[in-house]
A and B are shown apart, each in its own frame.
Chain A
Amino acid sequence: AEKVIQVWSTASRQEGEELTLDCSYETSQVLYHLFWYKHLLSGEMVFLIRQTSSSTAKERSGRYSVVFQKSLKSISLIISALQPDDSGKYFCALWEPDTNAYKVIFGKGTHLHVLP
């Protein structure tokens, strides 16, 4: 069974709009970390933001923020004021350090197209 699920394979928005990308995950661990990465056409996988299961802080990094609903096992990435450069593929990822110290499990990704 998939542990990280990104339901939408593609999304399109206009420049300046705000976008929410959804991700759900499965884990029985108490401690885990969730990441959002952006995968560029060049191949680069760029780290965007991280949420630790034990944290209640609303994580934010620039125009990126997350909505973490722990009880629902859901983490959404919000990108505000979209720009054409935000186009790319966004991956949600889960890391369970107690099960496998360094393995990161990726979802299938969501392609974002930002229209000028």
Chain B
Amino acid sequence: GALVYQYPRRTICKSGTSMRMECQAVGFQATSVAWYRQSPQKTFELIALSTVNSAIKYEQNFTQEKFPISHPNLSFSSMTVLNAYLEDRGLYLCGARRAVQDTQYFGPGTRLLVL
């Protein structure tokens, strides 16, 4: 099956600092990568979608200025949480899809704690 790795698995950062997380698709080329966040007591909400040959599309309430994403090739994506504050804590999942009609497979997540 498709494998998606995320790094780091958990991290702690000081309020106001930034933190970068990575997502790697193994064994397949991800034509799209989606980043989700699960805040405490909430379900998963989409932050942004990065698709090959298209601009990165951010959902309402999320901006490139706050969550810049890099998708340099078909197997790797990274996202940075800039100026992290308490409300940014949670589990960040990366979902990768091989083709348009394919199932989205998720990595194990990066758990962010902000102090």
Q: Which A residues have a C-beta under 8 Å from some C-beta of B?
A: 35, 37, 42-47, 50, 91, 95, 97, 100-109
How far, in angstroms, from A6 to B42 measured CA to CA in the complex? 13
Tell me whether B109 and A43 are in contact (CB under 8 A). Answer: yes
Instruction: From the candidates B59, B91, B95, B101, name the one contacting A43 in the complex (CB within 8 A).
Output: B91
Interface residue tally of chain B, by bracket?
A: 20 to 34
Q: Known contacts being A43-B91, A45-B93, A97-B100, is A106 close to B105, with CB within 8 Å?
A: no
Listed stretches B43-51, B63-71, B72-80; interface member: B43-51
Q: Say what secondary structure dominates the interface of chain B.
A: strand
Please, which residues of chain A bring their CB within 8 A of the CB of B101? 97
Please, which residues of chain A bring their CB within 8 A of the CB of B36? 106
Please, which residues of chain A bring their CB within 8 A of the CB of B46? 103-105
How far, in angstroms, from A49 to B13 measured CA to CA in the complex? 36
Give min CB distance, A24 to chain B, whole Å. Answer: 15
Instruction: From the candidates B34, B42, B44, B91, name the one contacting A102 in the complex (CB within 8 A).
Output: B34
How far, in angstroms, from A35 to B103 measured CA to CA in the complex? 8
Contact mask for chain B residues 75-115; partner A; CB cutoff 8 A; 1 contact, 0 none? 00000000000000001010101001101111111110000
How far, in angstroms, from A92 to B110 measured CA to CA in the complex? 21
How far, in angstroms, from A12 to B107 measured CA to CA in the complex? 27
Does B20 belong to the interface (CB within 8 Å)?
no
How far, in angstroms, from A108 to B43 measured CA to CA in the complex? 5
Tell me whether A102 and B49 are in contact (CB under 8 A). Answer: yes
How far, in angstroms, from A103 to B111 measured CA to CA in the complex? 21
How far, in angstroms, from A108 to B9 measured CA to CA in the complex? 22
Please, which residues of chain A bring their CB within 8 A of the CB of B45? 106
Please, which residues of chain A bring their CB within 8 A of the CB of B24? none
Tell me whether B43 and A44 are in contact (CB under 8 A). Answer: no
Nearest residue in A to B51 (C-beta to C-beta)? A102
Q: Known contacts being A43-B91, A106-B44, is A37 close to B106, with CB within 8 Å?
A: yes
How far, in angstroms, from A69 to B84 measured CA to CA in the complex? 43
Please, which residues of chain B bring their CB within 8 A of the CB of A95? 104
Tell me whether B32 and A101 are in contact (CB under 8 A). Answer: yes
